[in-house]
A and B are shown apart, each in its own frame.
Chain A
Amino acid sequence: MIETFKRNKLFAIYSAAVVVILLVAIFAPYLTPQDPFDGNMRNVLQPPSAEHLLGTDKLGRDTLSRIIAGTQVSLFMTICLVMLLAIVGSVVGIASGYFGGKVEMILMRLADMMLAFPGVVLAIAIAGILGGSVVNTILALLVVGWAKYARLVRSLVIKLRNNDFIIAAQVNGTKTINILWRHVLPNILPMVVITGAMDIGTMMMEIAGLSFLGFGAQPPTPEWGLMLNEGRQYIQTAPWLMIYPGVAIFIVVATFNLWGDSLRDVLDPRQQ
């Protein structure tokens, strides 16, 4: 592990940044200088000052506290989503890749259908029908996103399927479930992890996007996209309400994208 970090300085730096963000998310309730939900309504739209480092919002809540609390919400949603995508995509991909035939045909035609839709538009439609909430946002993006993972995993499994070690296992009479679990999954996992890591940034943007449009997290949740939308009304008179959540999204998304890239360089054997 330490060897890897030594050989990949950039990866080490980005990983450290990711760890910091994760720690902020986990310990958010202890890090917020003030209550992110309860403001002083007599003290609204204050510009940044010593008391409120990033100013206060339309209900007098401390913007810095809300951004910190938002790290937890945004990151939790994103990581849940990416893990679900990877799991659903892998299950479907392995099933269709390994068994082939009708299973493959049905599952892959389904995936083709999903890929044919413009993703964000479909997600908006689904979130709109289900009604805005954290869970529904994740569901909507899951429905839209799983096909990409399923496609990827299927192609990896097809390549694996005819390898000697799989055939050997089959000849030995190993149960199918064990073959999939012991031999297939470990071989596709690195690619799935890389894809997932590189998707974290994108998914975070999509979640924030849905929240910005009012289909995601609902008030008073301190979600960054929602905070952007709330600040929009005051863009000319209280610009800090849009600038700082925007900066937060920028930093976190950029960090995860860079980390995902460097993780690929480390894990992907072809790159070495």
Chain B
Amino acid sequence: MFKWKKLLTAAICAGTLLVTGCGGGDGGSASKGGNPDVLKVGVTNFADTLEPTQNYFGWVVMRYGLGECLTKFDEKMNIQPWLAEKWEVSDDKLTWTFKIRDNVKFSNGTPLTAEAVKNSIERAFAKNTRAATFFEYESITADGQNLVITTKKPLPGMPGYLADPLFIIVDTTAEPARDFSKQGPICTGPYVVESFVKERAVMKRNENYWDGQVPYATVEIPSIDDPNTRAMALQSGDVDVAVNIAAGDIDIFKGNDKFHIDEISSLRVVLARLNQKPDHILSDPKVRAALIAGCDRETYNDVLLKKTFIPGKAPVPPSLDYGFDQLKDPNAYNPERAAKLLDEAGWKDSDGDGIRDKDGKNLSLDFVVYNSRAELPLYAEAVQSDLKKLGFDIKINTVDYNLIDNMGIKGEYDLLISNITTANTGDPEIFLSWYWKTNADGSNPQNGSGYSNPAYDAKLDELASEFDAAKRRQLIIDLQQILLDDGAALFFGYPQTNIINAKYVDGVVMYPSDYYWITNLIKPAK
């Protein structure tokens, strides 16, 4: 009798395990209907603190529904009013006047004035040198609800710059009583921080929110860095919403009517920077051209990544209207041409080991990658495999994400993979300038590749003060064509990005800028 009971218990346990384990396959507890007071969002978080001026942590402050800027981007990357209800620029293009909404309060009840905005922007400039790479101002003055910014040079991108999460408006009077980096800043968004560690944040409703009802009393935000785990958490109902489900898992949710997928073309590009400093193999334009022409980028994106990426060609993705289709890539996939170019450049396999060599040196390149994004090692291995057929020896060097930025600046690589947003201020000017403008003794530190072309620099200078939209567009097209002709970098592809939610939640939208994940538009479905 006793044995029977034991067996029965074991069988029940095993059965339960099976049911819960496999439950994910058909949506599992996603059918429960969710809790109308608590929203759970599975994200990836890189921020150690919620101090918006530290590194890129402002992105997280904004994504978590905590911080807001003067302006924001809509689904088509048009600039929209946010905390500023309107703005204008003077006739000499040097003075900007932003009218701050007068019905806004910080979450602690302090009214939002132009003076508070001024202090907040000055705080960003004081705390992060990146602020000055967006714009430099002559003066900022506050007059009631009017904020006046004057600049030395005409800056057409000003409203877009102020949408960057670096310029999140915080209540500076709350400091030093409150330690922003530990307790989170005082902002104007729909939710406020209850607790924050890198792995998990809990947000509460902001009772002083200015823009309508805040639907959830609590938002729990676990950071689930592994994409598979994130997908499983969504399947099992551990989270109601998850961002960036990887190519390997997205098929599980497609065609499952319990989930809603919002998948859009992002503004990002995955590229390999090519180190072309004089003593590097890739300083030879023929080798660079051969390397680019030897990579079958269509197959990588259409087959390996199952069309979750658009095949790459130019620096700026086709989701932005900067002449993607009219740009000509001289180094489109053509392995025969690539082999010929290598022959011409003097790289021949003289010792028969399958690797080309020249002057006793192998055609061996160091490819630095990080793997916190699932697609990056896949691209790297695909390139390694394709280029091996041409006689390249690509050594993949996987490093931690935190090392990548510094290695890029110092130029410690032959190829270095990056997944970069191309238009964080609304257009690609900053992106094109950061990575390829001539870096003379550290004048443009992000360009550690040694790329330098005076014609390119001249066009960038022209772009910096051009207000006319049509002319800006043409300049950006010209800039891209120069990069393509020079074989400045290997552009792999443009990610689609997605946010997936269980259908008992409504209003979940992925924006191309990738800044706005949790908003007060997310609410329980009726």
> A residues touching B (Cβ–Cβ < 8 Å)?
37-39, 41-42, 44, 58-59, 131-132, 214, 218-220, 232-238
Q: Which residues of A contact B386 (CB under 8 A)?
A: 41
* Cβ contact of B303, chosen from A37, A44, A237, cutoff 8 A: A44
Q: What residues of A have a CB within 8 angstroms of the CB of B249 in the complex?
A: 236-237
Task: Tell me the nearest residue of chain A to B395, going by C-beta.
Answer: A218
Rounded to whole Å, the gap between the CB of A195 and the closest CB of chain B is 34
* Max count, chain A CB within 10 A of own CB: residue among B249, B296, B303, B380: B303
State in angstroms the CA–CA spacing of A212 and B382 once bound together.
Answer: 19
Contacts of A234 in B (CB 8 A): 248
- Given contacts A219-B377, A236-B249, A236-B252, list 4 more A-B pairs with CB under 8 A: A214-B398, A218-B396, A219-B384, A237-B249
Given A58-B304, A218-B398, A220-B381: A233 in contact with B227 (beta carbons within 8 A): yes
| B371 in the interface (beta carbon within 8 A) | yes
Could you say which residues of chain A place their CB within 8 Å of the CB of B304? Answer: 41, 44, 58-59
The chain B residue sitting closest to A41, CB to CB, is: B299
In whole angstroms, how far apart are the Cα atoms of A131 and B389 in the complex? 26
How close is A78's CB to chain B, nearest CB, in angstroms?
Answer: 23
Does B378 lie at the interface of the complex (its beta carbon under 8 Å from any beta carbon of A)? yes
Report 6 cross-chain contacts, Cβ distance below 8 Å, ordered by A residue. Answer: A38-B385, A38-B389, A41-B299, A59-B378, A132-B398, A233-B248
Interfacial residues of chain B within 221-254, with CB under 8 A of chain A in the complex: 227-228, 231-232, 246, 248-249, 251-252
**Distance (Å) between the CB of B252 and the closest chain A CB?**
6
Closest chain A residue, CB of each to CB of B398? A214
Assess A220 versus B398: contact at CB under 8 Å? Given A235-B228, A237-B249: no
The closest CB in chain B to the CB of A218 belongs to: B396
The reply to whether the CB of B9 lies closer than 8 angstroms to some CB of chain A is: no
Is B347's beta carbon under 8 Å from chain A?
Answer: no
Contacts of B378 in A (CB 8 A): 58-59
Asked if B296 contacts A41 (CB within 8 A), the reply is yes
Q: Are the CB atoms of A131 and B397 closer together than 8 Å? A: yes
Give the residues in chain B near A39, CB-CB below 8 Å.
385
B451 is an interface residue with CB less than 8 A from chain A: no
Bound CA–CA A233/B299 (angstroms): 19
| Chain A nearest Cβ from B142, distance in angstroms | 51
10 tightest A-B contacts by CB? A233-B248, A234-B248, A41-B299, A219-B381, A42-B303, A237-B248, A44-B303, A219-B396, A44-B304, A218-B396
Residues in B whose Cβ lies below 8 Å from that of A44: 303-304
Cβ distance A137 to chain B, nearest Cβ, rounded Å: 14
Q: Does any Cβ of A come within 8 Å of B413's Cβ?
A: no
**Contact A59 B381, CB 8 Å, known A236-B228, A236-B231:** yes
Interface of B is mostly: helix
Contact A233 to B303, CB < 8 A, known contacts A219-B381, A219-B396: no
Q: With contacts A44-B304, A236-B228 known, is A220 near B252, CB below 8 A?
A: no
Q: Which residues of A contact B228 (CB under 8 A)?
A: 232-233, 235-236
- B374 interfacial by beta-carbon distance below 8 Å: yes
How far apart are the CA atoms of A12 and B398 in the complex, in Å?
44
Q: Is B246 touching A233 in the complex (CB atoms < 8 A)?
A: yes
CB-CB under 8 A from B381, the residues of chain A are 59, 219-220
- Our pick among B251, B385, B398 for the contact of A237 (Cβ within 8 Å) is B251
Report chain B residues within 8 Å CB of A235.
228
Q: What residues on A are CB-neighbors of B380 within 8 Å? A: 219
> Residue among A37, A132, A220, A233 with the most chain B CB within 10 A?
A233
* A44–B382 alpha-carbon span in the complex (Å): 12
Contacts of B252 in A (CB 8 A): 236-237
Kindly provide the distance from the CB of A207 to the nearest chain B CB, expressed in whole angstroms: 17
Question: In the complex the two chains form, is B300's CB within 8 Å of A220's CB?
Answer: no
- Taking CB atoms and an 8 Å cut-off, the chain B residues in 359-393 that contact chain A are 371, 374, 377-378, 380-382, 384-386, 388-389
Residue in contact with B385 in the complex, picked from A42, A59, A233, A236, CB distance below 8 Å? A59
A125 nearest CB across to chain B (Å): 13
**Least CB separation from B399: chain A residue:** A131
- Kindly list chain A residues whose C-beta atoms are within 8 Å of the C-beta of B396: 218-219
- Residues from chain B with a CB closer than 8 A to the CB of A42 are 299, 303
Q: A131-B397, A218-B396, A237-B249 are in contact. Are A37 and B231 (CB under 8 A)?
A: no
Min Cβ gap A124→B in Å is 13
Docked complex Cα distance between A112 and B249 (Å): 47
Alpha-carbon distance between A218 and B381 when the two chains are bound, in angstroms: 10
Contact, CB under 8 Å: B371 / A214 = yes
CB proximity of B500 to chain A, nearest CB, Å: 14
Q: Which residues of A contact B377 (CB under 8 A)?
A: 219
**Which residues of A have CB within 8 Å of B397?**
131
* B248, B249, B371, most chain A CB atoms within 10 A: B248
List, in ascending order, chain A residues with CB within 8 A of B246's CB: 233
Closest-CB distance, A52 to chain B (whole angstroms): 16
Chain B nearest CB from A258 CB (Å) reads 28
Q: How far is the CB of A186 from chain B (nearest CB, A)?
A: 43
B169 CB → nearest A CB, Å:
40
Q: How far is the CA of A132 from the CA of B304 in the complex (A)?
A: 25
Give the contacting residue for B384; candidates A214, A220, A233, A236; CB below 8 A: A220
Bound-state CA distance A67–B194 (Å) is: 50
